[in-house]
Amino acid sequence: MNQEATGRRGLAQRTLDALITTDPHQRIRLAMAGVSALLMLGCIGAMHLVAAAGLTDPVPVYWWTLACGAGITTVFVLIRSGASRRFADPSLTLFQIVYAIACNAAAYVIAGPARGIAPPILAVIMMFGVFGLTPRQMVGVALYGLVAFGAAGAVVQWWHPAWLSPDSQPPALSAAYLVMIAMVLASSTFLTTRVHSARARLRSQKRELAAAVEQIRELAIRDELTGLPNRRYMLEMMRLEHARAQRSRQPLLLAQLDLDHFKAVNDTHGHAAGDVALQSFAQTVHGCVRASDLLARWGGEEFLLLMANTHPADGTRLLERVRATVAATPVALPGGTQLSLTVSVGLAELAPGESTAALLQRADAALYGAKRLGRNRVLLAH
């Protein structure tokens, strides 16, 4: 029994996939076309009730039904086959609305005394345009609708073929219908403009919110003065790289860099000059390291450099290049003063089973060892 139920569900799913495809975008388009088709079928049913009640000749209603069915079928085939993808509007929203208005205007002509059903149906048709068309397209549709129903009103008022209801319609009633139709078209166009404006505001607010979130994220992970990653971000990256190095057994180096005699810079030249010196130092070091290395401001004049998959000899050579470049790059202070900087570096390699806190402590100890040895040097922890 379960297998039979499963088989029926599988058959139903295959049938559904054959009808509306498995492409999610195509499914949405076909679903919307299906809703339009159901509304059109409702209108067809209403017209046949009118004919069954003897209010109009059933023959034009039958031909009108064939025309409506041809439009529904054409839309389904174009979307289901994928041919509509070549168009600017793959959902064929504009085509469906224009065709539906034409059918609605024709229904107005052949419905006889029941032609008062046309304006409500037109309102439903136009609601699809509110959410699917641009304001410019909606204005064009509204003008087209006025022309179509103006022509339909003229046919009803002045042309009386044999198949049209012989009951003449009072001019005042025709005018009332046309006023209602104009109100439906105008209000739909107005709503489209408002909806389009609201969507534009929402898109703008979404972009602004995304930019604000990105700015907040940058502030959370960036040092405001140097633009480098800050302590919080470095701690997280140290944790991640530590876990990766432990899994892959690849070498991981951590270097602690400290500007020599930086307090004297602030005391002699002022804190503004100290900020310039820190910015210049950050740019110089960042220009020496590799793209895979992570340089961060740790605090004050201290910086950390994280080097993944790097052996101590390679890391030492890179840091010697950093040290030499910093010493050879004077900082231009406001007022034209040239300031020479040097940096001391402590380097440590992650040992098996060692924590990030222990690795940082060894790098820090190596840094102080470099300072004790006279500064302006790189010292590898053992």
Token code pair at residue 24? 């999610």
Q: What whole-number distance in Å separates Cα of residue 123 and Cα of residue 24?
A: 29
372, with CB counted inside 10 A (0-12, 13-18, 19+), is exposed
Looking at the chain, list the stretches that DSSP marks H as alpha helix, in order from N- to C-terminal side: 2-20, 24-52, 58-81, 93-110, 118-132, 135-158, 171-221, 231-248, 262-269, 271-288, 312-327, 356-372
Q: Is the CA virtual torsion 175, 180, 185, 191 positive or negative?
A: positive
Residue 229, Cβ neighbours under 10 Å: how many? 19
257, with CB counted inside 10 A (0-12, 13-18, 19+), is buried
Rg (CA), the chain: 38
CB of 350 within 8 A of CB of 342?
no
CB of 122 within 8 A of CB of 145?
yes
Residue 281, Cβ neighbours under 10 Å: how many? 22
Q: Indicate which residue of 224, 241, 301, 349 is catalytic.
A: 301
3-class secondary structure per residue, 114-129: HHHHHHHHHHHHHHHH
Length reported for the chain: 382
Identify the bridge partners of residue 343 per DSSP, sorted by sequence position.
259
Tell me whether residue 354 is one of the annotated catalytic residues: no
Residues with active-site annotation: 301
